[in-house]
Structure 1
Amino acid sequence: MVLAVALVQGASRGLGLEFCKHILRNKSPAAAVIATCRAPEGASELMGLAAQYPGKVTVLKVDVNREDEIKGAAEEVRQRFGKVDLIINASAMLHPSGKGETSLRDVSAQGIISTLTTNTVGPLMMAKYFAPLLLRGGGCFGLQPPEKAKLHSGIIVNITAKVGSIGDNGLGGWYSYRMSKAALNMATRNLSIELARSRPKVVCVSLHPGTVNTDLSQPYHRNVPKDKLFSTEHSVNLMMSIIDKLNIEKTGKAYNWDGTELPW
């Protein structure tokens, strides 16, 4: 019997793939994972994970730049599972070029639009179509003290970045990426307000994973101290420990990997 349903958006590699592995290792056999990515046919490691956990992993083709695919996926999940307890929006791009803009002369309208579409608009559209399923969630993730049972149903986690904090920005640069994550944080805040009006409520937070050894950050590893460059497994372990302690009092905020609150 499936007690918890977790959906990981952007699950073909990096943090998204590691979230799938973590949930399957630590929540199975009571958890089912819905893993979405743009091109499942090319996601060999994800498909291998699905084969390793037969019946526990559902892989869906979802390009977050295509609203129709998000809508179709939500309908398929509704028919197959009837609910979602946790959504993690993990897919992100630094910039179409693979490098952040170091100055204004590097900025292009298309670069900004592409980055915002993937990093901000996509997660917001996921919330739009999956919110009804989150409202049917059983609060299987996050803290649910007996005396406060059913205070929340589902949880939305948007993977943000510290460079998206306006209050923390002292270096500038990386226009597209910074703007996309700052806008994502605003979306998280807005969602937390609207979805807190429901009964039961949906918890919405942004999480900063630290600097993680992924393709996105690889061009900048030489500037990161070794003890501050996290493996995907270590980062996900830290973030899942935060997710497991979430409750409605913590909604609408951004948190660092160590659980401290990140300034907007």
Structure 2
Amino acid sequence: MSGTSAIALIQGASRGIGLQFCKTLLLRNSATTVVATCRDPNSSSELAQLKVNNDRLHVCKLDVTKENDISDVSKYVTEKFGKLDLLINCAGMLHPSGKGETSLRSVDGQDLLLTLHTNAVGPLLMAKMFSPLLLNGNGQFGVLSADPKATHCGIIANMSAKVGSITDNGLGGWYSYRMSKAALNMATKNLSIEFGRGRKKIICVSLHPGTVNTDLSRPYHKNVPNLFTTEYSVDCLLKVIDSLTVEDSGKFFTYDRTVLPY
């Protein structure tokens, strides 16, 4: 990332990985402005505290399952900045109950649809409504190429999960979460193809953050030998983002830049 002004939007920023992205981006570069979105900004005391004395943080209400919210924030960013350099979709749901289904008999249609809407449909609509702003970006994240045909103007990073890999699935279960992340990966791939056609290109990738100490993974911590802090995971993920080129668009990376099979 260069030292000039950069605009990053973190969707799902009230806690966990999203909140840590806000903290880290604000700390590491005084020229970066962060737009943090969440369903209820008033309920996030940590986000409110981060905003104190920090005029480079803008907090907006956005429920990723509501198109009007997404549209309203895109209008706000358009009026305020006129561009966007990085969009990170972080909001995620394991299951409305907080635990993944262990078998088919646990599957509920409404719960499945809500998980799919949050984890896959929402990020796709974010890409739809913020892509005009990303096309106005100037490549403040990732690696710019000397070849104009291989230069990007913005990046979309979707927080996926290794359990969303169809090839890697050897245990089954977690129907809603696995299906939603597999759908998100397909959306990422589709977006990479569409946004790779024009003169101005947007890099689109899926990212696996590792198993991180967050509310989403908390019910399963006892089975995880290497549980990451949010700080460590975000540091690793930003290294991946900073290393991205147009040729990486459409790929599914782990926190250590290993390419995962879809």
Shift of 1:6: 0.2
Deviations 1:163-218 (A, max 9, x none): 00000000000000000000000000000000111221000000000000000000
> Conserved in 1, the CA contact under 8 Å of 2:94 and 2:115?
yes
Shift of 1:52: 3.8
Partner amino acid for 2:43? G
Partner of 2:121: 121
Q: What is the CA–CA distance in structure 1 between the aligned matches of 2:105 and 2:147, rounded to whole Å? A: 56
> Conserved in 1, the CA contact under 8 Å of 2:157 and 2:206?
yes
> Conserved in 2, the CA contact under 8 Å of 1:74 and 1:130?
yes
Q: What is the CA–CA distance in structure 2 between the aligned matches of 1:204 and 1:107, rounded to whole Å? A: 31
TM-score after normalising by structure 1? 0.96
Shift of 1:249: 0.5
Partner of 2:220: 220
Partner of 2:104: 104
Count of aligned residue pairs for this structure pair: 260
Residue correspondence of structure 1 range 60-139 to structure 2 within 5 A: 60-139=60-139
Partner of 1:192: 192
Q: Secondary structure at 2:87's aligned position in 1?
A: strand
Q: What is the CA–CA distance in structure 2 between the aligned matches of 1:73 and 1:10, rounded to whole Å? A: 13
Partner of 1:179: 179
Shift of 1:101: 0.1
Q: What is the CA–CA distance in structure 1 between the aligned matches of 2:103 and 2:48, rounded to whole Å? A: 40
- In structure 1, runs of 5+ residues without a counterpart are none
Percent of paired sites with the same residue: 58
Moved over 3 A (4+): 145-150
Shift of 1:50: 1.0
Residue correspondence of structure 1 range 1-264 to structure 2 within 5 A: 3-28=5-30, 30-53=31-54, 55-146=55-146, 151-225=151-225, 228-264=226-262
Deviations 1:71-118 (A, max 9, x none): 111011100000000000000010000000000000010110010010
- In structure 2, runs of 5+ residues without a counterpart are none
Q: What is the CA–CA distance in structure 1 between the aligned matches of 2:111 and 2:34, rounded to whole Å? A: 32
Partner amino acid for 2:261? P
Shift of 1:256: 0.7
RMSD: 1.3
